[in-house]
Structure 1
């Protein structure tokens, strides 16, 4: 019996995922445990393994890279040697050609084979609608004729758009009286958003050709250089969409309050320099300032467990473990991989693990587990020359610590004004979970740990 491969749920809040790529080809023999495909879920790209051994078979309309697929949607089958696909998805090999050649009435022919209709090959367009499925041949013809196929209704057996649908739409395009345009020119004008008014200004009479569209494009570019550049719309990445959703949810759900203070980081800077010198000689990974902040923040959370908590309607959740997320900037957006059981790890171990998590974030190799289970978050903008700022709570956590740059400035030390290395600390906390006084005591402990690293190094 054929085994169905479906879109997995990679998190409790995941309702759909972006299909990445097939790691096996149609007809390949696979074994249980082999990596089959990749999925971009909530901020992480996950390699998904197969649980059955057999032969991978991709049905007609199998998902392509970039398709948005609901959880549970059919992706493929695993069959045994000699076994055919289920009848509801096993289209005859000549079906595609039949869709392209038969009349428009054929989709309703009850004598045709039953076909499973799945949303797995549909993507979401800008206005939130689902893109219809389209055959490769029809997509190519649409490009040649300048037809916007996302607005068409398919007449194929599975509702897929086929070539005849595209050509029929092209014939329905009504051009203004007296305007004659070649198909290539029409396609180029549509892609460049060149209006007929611009084209007729270049060629008032006669057939508009490709060179006329190229001239209109060049004219527009010259105008843009002379004046204000035209606005452009850049599509949101999946990570950006999720970040926007969660930041808005945090702002509307929590009762955020931000406290700020300044710490003398002179001794912390000296500690980092000593670690850098000692570790480099032994060819060990040198702990970054972020690694040191992770360690001392975990020590402060041990003293103030109410900051390592989450709100729930049933009561306050005091987490047993201290798992700290840390913000990482990537080309596609902000990620916050989680370092687990921080108090139990040495600085050397923290440096090794965070380096691996940062590399995985930049290369889009972070698994789902690496992004889940955080109980607190730190975010450091010091490398951008920022002092104090207002970080946004990473739900369902209760607080987030923002760290600014370390800068040398005059400060009072032992009764004298001397140059000291100072750093700004910003704590945003959820007032539903913790009151101002406990939050202030926690931030003061962090400040003390920054100023006197010996307090947590020997704890």
Structure 2
């Protein structure tokens, strides 16, 4: 009997997800352990591994990329040796007329039909080179290269494509604000917003938005948050980064660490001196961390995700920068796994790029504290009875007063300030 391919549960509360796409083609031979398809859950997009082998059969009614699917839904089959095709099922629902091939359309496989839809190509305009005039993937690729540049679709994220369909927005007329002009979900929603006074309409809540809302409310209900602010001198930090830039101009293999990379490393050193700020509240008492893993808040299409840089004190600055860059790239490409966002004991959120000074970050439960980072601004200060220009960085530390009192939290923030003012010993590698 064929083995069914079903939608797994990626989290305890997950009831449905978003099907991102297949990683194998219809008819491919699949082995146990192969990555079969991508599924977006509450907070992450996972590449789903198969435990069985066989020949992949994708039925005509399988979900399309961007479709919402229920946990447990059957989306495909793995044919076992000796099975030529799926057994006939008398009670199987017929393929809807809207998805069936028109009489004058050439025969195509489901995967080729997806390629045709994605490229906006009419199959009736293609001479198929396969058996019996069948349109093949090579035919579609060849036709795509002849499509005028003006007809090529803009880069768009899977989520933005789905929202565009839901809101009836022609995304080919939308200007993207993502990297290299990529169209993001917020671009579609802005394009769909009424240009004048109109009745208020509720935006649909995505699984990711619901998860973010639940965690923020959990934080407010279960912690006693207090926020401290500081403005340490960051001149030496700025000068150090300029040195990295100078080296990178002659050695492109040595990328320039970001200010967030600097702070991950410095905060890791401060947490070693003040482990209480990395502890968590449990029913058995206050539990210290097993290791220093620091989360970094990243803004993506779906909202906010917090991938975790692991074992920070054991890493050099370049290793921290490489791990951080990889996690951020995966976050923006919807390739984070659930494990990438687990195990953190402290979080850093940086809004400095938006011109923000101090703010009140919300603790990421079950962690004890979070550091908000504002902009670096050049200001006049008194030094040796003279007014000089110095770079200052705005910091906001929110901590759980159930675990940490004000004085220990202030000492921790003071340590971070001291490390920022004299970063050399910690950021030289």
Structure 1 length as normaliser, TM-score?
A: 0.66
Q: Which residue of 1 aligns with 2:278?
A: 308
Distance 1:48 1:281, change over 3 A: same
- Residue 270 of structure 1 deviates from its aligned partner by 0.9
> Residues 85-124 of structure 1, C-alpha deviation per residue, up to 9 Å, x if partnerless?
998xx623x8434xxxxxxxxxxxxxxxxxxxxxxxxxxx
CA distance in 2, matches of 1:58, 1:458: 53
CA distance in 2, matches of 1:71, 1:350: 37
- Residue 62 of structure 1 deviates from its aligned partner by 4.4
> Are the counterparts in 2 of residues 280 and 286 from structure 1 also a CA contact under 8 Å?
no
- Residue 382, structure 1, aligned to residue 352, structure 2: yes
Q: Which residue of 1 aligns with 2:260?
A: 290
SS at structure 1 position matched to 2:292: coil
* Structure 2 counterparts to residues 51-450 of structure 1, below 5 A: 51-58=51-58, 62-83=62-83, 91-92=89-90, 95-97=92-94, 136-137=96-97, 228-229=197-198, 231-283=200-252, 284-450=254-420
SS at structure 2 position matched to 1:24: coil
Q: Which residue of 2 aligns with 1:173?
A: none
- Residue 17, structure 1, aligned to residue 14, structure 2: no
> Are the counterparts in 2 of residues 60 and 91 from structure 1 also a CA contact under 8 Å?
no
Greater Rg by CA: 1
Structure 2 length as normaliser, TM-score?
A: 0.71
SS at structure 2 position matched to 1:298: helix
> Residues 193-223 of structure 1, C-alpha deviation per residue, up to 9 Å, x if partnerless?
xxxxxxxxxxxxxxxxxxxxxxxxxxxxxxx
SS at structure 1 position matched to 2:231: strand
CA distance in 2, matches of 1:373, 1:409: 38
CA distance in 2, matches of 1:95, 1:352: 51
- Residue 234 of structure 1 deviates from its aligned partner by 3.4
RMSD of aligned C-alpha atoms?
2.9
SS at structure 2 position matched to 1:20: strand
CA distance in 2, matches of 1:29, 1:329: 38
- Residue 368 of structure 1 deviates from its aligned partner by 2.4
CA distance in 2, matches of 1:376, 1:252: 19
> Are the counterparts in 1 of residues 370 and 398 from structure 2 also a CA contact under 8 Å?
yes
CA distance in 2, matches of 1:359, 1:63: 27
- Residue 235 of structure 1 deviates from its aligned partner by 2.7
CA distance in 1, matches of 2:294, 2:214: 21
> Are the counterparts in 1 of residues 227 and 398 from structure 2 also a CA contact under 8 Å?
yes
- Residue 415 of structure 1 deviates from its aligned partner by 4.0
Q: Which residue of 1 aligns with 2:48?
A: 48
CA distance in 2, matches of 1:349, 1:447: 23
- Residue 438 of structure 1 deviates from its aligned partner by 1.4
> Are the counterparts in 1 of residues 54 and 78 from structure 2 also a CA contact under 8 Å?
yes
Distance 1:426 1:273, change over 3 A: same
Distance 1:419 1:391, change over 3 A: same
Question: Structure 1: which 5+ runs fail to align?
Answer: 98-134, 141-190, 193-223
Distance 1:95 1:299, change over 3 A: closer
Distance 1:59 1:312, change over 3 A: farther
Distance 1:270 1:13, change over 3 A: farther
Q: Which residue of 2 aligns with 1:452?
A: 422
Distance 1:369 1:444, change over 3 A: same
- Residue 245 of structure 1 deviates from its aligned partner by 1.9
> Residues 248-273 of structure 1, C-alpha deviation per residue, up to 9 Å, x if partnerless?
22112211111111111111111111
- Residue 38 of structure 1 deviates from its aligned partner by 0.8
CA distance in 2, matches of 1:376, 1:262: 20
> Residues 294-313 of structure 1, C-alpha deviation per residue, up to 9 Å, x if partnerless?
11010000101011122211
CA distance in 2, matches of 1:323, 1:26: 41
> Are the counterparts in 1 of residues 17 and 207 from structure 2 also a CA contact under 8 Å?
no
Aligned length: 337
Distance 1:280 1:346, change over 3 A: farther
Q: Which residue of 2 aligns with 1:213?
A: none
SS at structure 2 position matched to 1:36: strand
